[in-house]
A and B are shown apart, each in its own frame.
Chain A
Amino acid sequence: MSEERETRLFMIAPDSMLTPDQLVRMIHAFGEEALVKETCYGCLVEGPRELVLKIRDRVREKYRNEVFTKIRAYRCSDPRRCRAQHGTRPGFAQLEEEWELLTRIHRGLDRVDAGAKYEPTPAKKRLPVNDFKKICEVQE
């Protein structure tokens, strides 16, 4: 991973009361010299890796299970990706899919923090032919 530059994407879970605007203001208030860009799902933060990781940790301290983050390959406002610069934004379909999943993960994380453990669910078995036959006969 590059040490010089890291662009990190922060995405807010849909059931959170936090807004992208509040998140960006909070990051600005840290007073760090990183580039912060507000987006519809949260924000992008760009800067030296060490600094961006520091910001990530401070965001996690406050919104532990509500804000999710991953790195982004392209820089903020890269014309090859940014819609504002008529880019194609090909990764957005994946972000949209994950955004829908984040509510469940948010609640899952809360429950695990509260002490929930992994409980293996029994695997689905195949239906015996005779049972299936009975079901079909009842329906007739």
Chain B
Amino acid sequence: MKVFIDPPNSLVLFDLVERFGHEPLSTMAAIQERVDNLEVDMPPMNVTLDDVVKGLKYAGVEVPSGVRGRLALWGPMIESADAAIVMDDCPYSFGCVGCERSNLMVKYLIKRRGIPVLYVTYPEDEDQATNFVAQTKEFLEGLK
């Protein structure tokens, strides 16, 4: 099953989803598509006109262009996801920093899809990490 991860560039979440037998949907795959197939100078800093139009589906025209650009990458992935894992209470510099509004919008889009979602908290110590891994494992093994 396709599992969307939030933060979408997280190594830990990507690894755990793969480890427990599912396909993670991440920013890296979306950017790789643009690196390989499009002649864009430096994705995701530069986007195509199509990306801007795609972003309009998820955020209005009055929303800052950065939010639309991010959602042009993440929006289609959320639409194709069968489940999602969201990590809450991350430190400031963990995940896609720079636009909290985009992150909130992603959480809203996931909720609106109505797919199974696991909300986990950022582990601060070993016991919390054990709980985090066990909880993720149970959730991913339950997705059949």
Q: Are B28 and A72 in contact (CB under 8 A)?
A: yes
Q: Are B33 and A108 in contact, CB atoms less than 8 angstroms apart?
A: no
Q: A72-B28, A73-B31, A73-B35 are in contact. Are A121 and B10 (CB under 8 A)?
A: no
Using a Cβ–Cβ cut-off of 8 Å, how many residues does chain B contribute to the interface with A? 41
Are B130 and A107 in contact (CB-based, < 8 A)? Answer: yes
* 0/1 interface trace, chain A 92-120, chain B, CB 8 Å (1 if under): 01110110011011011101100011111
A9 within 8 A of B: yes
Q: Which chain B residues border A94 with CB–CB below 8 Å?
A: 9-11, 93-95
Q: Which residue of B lies closest to A94 (CB)?
A: B9
B11 touches A111 (CB 8 A): no
A4 CB contacts on chain B under 8 angstroms:
36
| Contact yes or no, B26 A70, CB < 8 A | yes
Does A1 sit within 8 A of B, measured CB to CB?
Answer: yes
Contact B28 A71 (CB under 8 A): yes
Q: Compute how far the CA of A126 lies from the CA of B133 in the bound complex, rounded to whole angstroms.
A: 28
Please tell me which one of the listed residues B12, B36, B91 contacts residue A105 in the complex, with CB atoms under 8 A apart: B12
Given A80-B42, A108-B129, also A70-B35 (CB < 8 A): no
Residues B123 and A101 in contact, CB atoms below 8 Å apart: yes
Determine if A74 is an interface residue (Cβ-Cβ < 8 Å). Answer: yes
A-contact bits for B9-45, CB 8 A (1 contact / 0 none): 1111011001100010011111111111000001100
Which of A70, A74, A108, A121 contacts B126 (CB under 8 A)? Answer: A108
CB distance from B135 to the nearest CB of A (A): 5
Q: How far is the CA of A136 from the CA of B138 in the complex (A)?
A: 43
State how many angstroms separate the Cβ of B131 from the closest Cβ of chain A.
6
Interface string of B110-135 (1 = CB under 8 A from A): 00000000000011011011111111
Q: Which 5 A-B pairs have the closest CB atoms?
A: A73-B31, A108-B129, A104-B129, A108-B133, A118-B134
Mark A residues whose CB is within 8 Å of B. 1-2, 4-5, 7, 9, 11, 60, 68-75, 78, 80, 91, 93-95, 97-98, 101-102, 104-105, 107-109, 111-112, 116-121
Q: List 23 A-B contacts (CB under 8 A).
A: A2-B33, A9-B11, A68-B11, A69-B11, A70-B14, A71-B26, A73-B31, A73-B35, A74-B31, A74-B35, A80-B42, A94-B11, A104-B128, A105-B12, A108-B123, A108-B131, A108-B133, A108-B134, A111-B133, A112-B137, A116-B134, A118-B134, A118-B135
Give 18 A-B pairs besides A2-B36, A101-B129, A112-B130 with Cβ atoms closer than 8 angstroms: A7-B32, A69-B11, A70-B26, A70-B28, A72-B32, A73-B30, A74-B31, A75-B35, A94-B94, A101-B12, A101-B122, A102-B12, A104-B125, A105-B132, A105-B133, A111-B126, A116-B130, A118-B131
